[in-house]
Amino acid sequence: MIIRENYLKRMIDAKDTEFIKVITGVRRSGKSTLLLMFKDYLLNNGVNEDNIIHINFESAIYDDINDYKDLYQYVKEKIKKSKIYLLLDEVQNIKSWEKAINSFKVDFNIDIYITGSNAYLLSSELSTLLSGRYIEIKMYPLSFKEYLIFNHYDNNNLDDKFNEYLKYGGLPAIALIKDNDELVLSYLNDIYNTIIKKDIIDRNNIKDTALLENIIKYLSNNIGSPISSTKISDYLNSNKIVEKSNHQTIDNYLNMLEKSFIMYKADRTDIKSKSLLKTLGKYYISDTGIRNIILGFRNIDEGHLLENIVYLELLRRGYRVNIGKTNDYEVDFVAENPHNIKYYQVTQSLKSEDVKVRELRSLESIDDNYEKIILTMDKSINNDFNGIKVINIIDWLLKDE
């Protein structure tokens, strides 16, 4: 296993705290492997194997555990008097699992780590169900920096390797099969179909699967564009793609896509007033390889994919990310954490004077002293325009913040 240091460090930092550690993310992003990495860490740091209970609920070995009572009894029988580390993989497969988790915290000296592939694990009720005592560790597909490590790549010919990353995406298993296009296509297609079927259609008992799939195609084809349920409905109806669609159904489907972690929504915020705007957010996909399997590898739009890559990287770095509005101008990303705010524009190139003026104008219209950055694929660039930094995207992705 190649260690994903950032995620493992977060788990280690949270170790032995009173909180339940909840690891979330899209399917096959590496959550199960992270639990194994953490188990190895425990074993290598003096924890006896008898004090670690590790259950993967996607294994047939645990088919007899169907509900919280079964889970409680199984774990209870394995618990010793000393402290226990409980690692539960895909725990949402167990009916009323949260009742067992709460009982474990009351009844035993136990440190709990759980994973889930969809946000129903972190629904609005979860804070109540777990008495507010949890920490979410959000896991994403590989960053470009991780992609190089997983493929044992050096820093030569980075443009070619970055284009490969845009094409295939960052799901960890791709590193093992990327030299076989047929296997890559099959793997990505299987993951996409599993997410759609298990995490969305089956879970929500969806009847109109054609509408759902057309919404996904629309979002994938409009990465980084302002989206509303009205715009989607008008497009589908005017092009007679579906017989009829309504805004409420589309809103429900959009919510389901977010909960499955296949799509992320970035809301718009008024930079001056710091208030969120209710309309025209933007959607980004969890992995560019999944996006390319939806639309076809011949329809790769590098400009929009660059914006998608930057959005996910900002999330990985711990920022809350919104779309910015300032006067009549749009700012691609307002990235905020408890200590700082940064503003980003993303463009393929600044060589066109019109593009340069447009991108600078949006950032220049912001009346504060936080850092303002333009990310571009250009190599030979003036790296400062009156305090606005211009950075090559690949350089930015490889640089530790």
Strand segments, DSSP code E, in 36-97 are: 52-56, 84-89
Q: Domains, the chain, ranges and CATH?
A: 5-138 (3.40.50.300), 301-401 (3.40.1350)
What's the pLDDT score for residue 93?
Answer: 85
What's the pLDDT score for residue 122?
Answer: 67
Q: Alpha helices of 279-388 — where are they, by DSSP H?
A: 288-295, 302-316, 353-364
Give the span between the Cα atoms of 266 and 262, in whole angstroms: 14
Q: Are strands 329-337 and 384-385 parallel, antiparallel or unpaired?
A: unpaired
Strand segments, DSSP code E, in 161-246 are: 226-227
Measured CA distances, 362 to 77, 171, 274, 353 (Å) = 62, 34, 16, 15
What's the pLDDT score for residue 42?
Answer: 98
Which class for 261: exposed (0-12), middle (13-18), buried (19 or more C-beta within 10 A)?
A: buried
Range 227-233 contact pairs with CB under 8 angstroms and sequence separation of 24 or more: 227/280, 227/281, 227/282, 227/283, 228/279, 228/280, 229/254
Q: Which two tokens stand for residue 59?
A: 């294994």
Let me know: does 285 contact 262? Beta carbons within 8 Å. Answer: yes
pLDDT in tens, the chain (401 residues): 788 999 999 999 999 999 999 999 999 999 999 999 999 999 999 999 999 999 999 999 999 999 999 999 999 999 988 999 999 999 988 999 999 999 999 999 999 999 987 777 766 677 778 877 899 999 999 999 999 999 999 999 999 999 999 999 999 999 889 899 999 999 999 999 999 998 899 988 998 999 999 999 999 999 999 999 999 999 998 888 877 778 889 999 999 999 999 999 999 999 988 888 878 899 999 999 999 999 988 767 788 899 999 999 999 999 999 999 998 899 999 999 999 999 999 999 999 999 999 999 999 999 999 999 999 999 877 788 889 999 999 999 999 87
Let me know: does 115 contact 1? Beta carbons within 8 Å. Answer: no
